[in-house]
Amino acid sequence: QVQLQESGPGLMKPSETLSLTCTVSGGSINPYYWSWIRQPPGKGLEWVAYIYSSGATNYNPSLKSRVTISVDTSKSQFSLKLSSVTAADTAVYYCARFMTSGLYYFDYWGQGTLVTVSS
């Protein structure tokens, strides 16, 4: 059973860079796509980015200028960096496995980690 676990700072100040890591266990990080999705308090889900285990990426156009997703297969981890955060980036951030090859859905999710941006 694949398990994902997010780790992050919890509380941040405006203008800082958010760094999140997702550790994959119970299965291989290869050869899959992995993604970040977020949910602001009281609002809906928003896809942020996905990455293939070889490094190919795709980003939400509305966040692309501030987001970088990366993967470290040796550690079975993938990461997200979001620069110049504001209160609008306050959200629960989920990592998930993104199934492709004619399927295109998220089959395994982490529990999520709350990131609060406040001065």
Partner 1 sequence: QSALTQPASVSGSPGQSLSISCTGTSRDVGGYNYVSWYQIHPGKAPKVVIYEVSNRPSGVSYRFSGSKSGTTASLTISGLQAEDEADYYCSAYTTSNALVFGGGTKLTVL
Distance CA 75, CA 11 (A): 25
As separate numbers, helices (DSSP H) first and strands (DSSP E) second, the chain gives: 0, 11
Write out the two tokens for 12: 């941040």
Residues within the interface to partner 1 (CB under 8 A): 35, 37, 44-47, 50, 58, 60-62, 94, 96, 98-99, 102-107, 109-112
Choice between 31 and 102, CB closer to partner 1: 102
Distance CA 51, CA 27 (A): 17
Q: How far is the CB of 28 from partner 1 (least distance, A)?
A: 20
Q: How far is the CB of 16 from partner 1 (least distance, A)?
A: 26
Query: Nearest-5° angle of CA 85, CA 87, CA 89?
Result: 55
CA distances from 30 to 61, 63, 103, 117 (A): 26, 26, 17, 33
Choice between 7 and 99, CB closer to partner 1: 99
Q: How far is the CB of 119 from partner 1 (least distance, A)?
A: 27
Choice between 12 and 33, CB closer to partner 1: 33
Choice between 16 and 39, CB closer to partner 1: 39
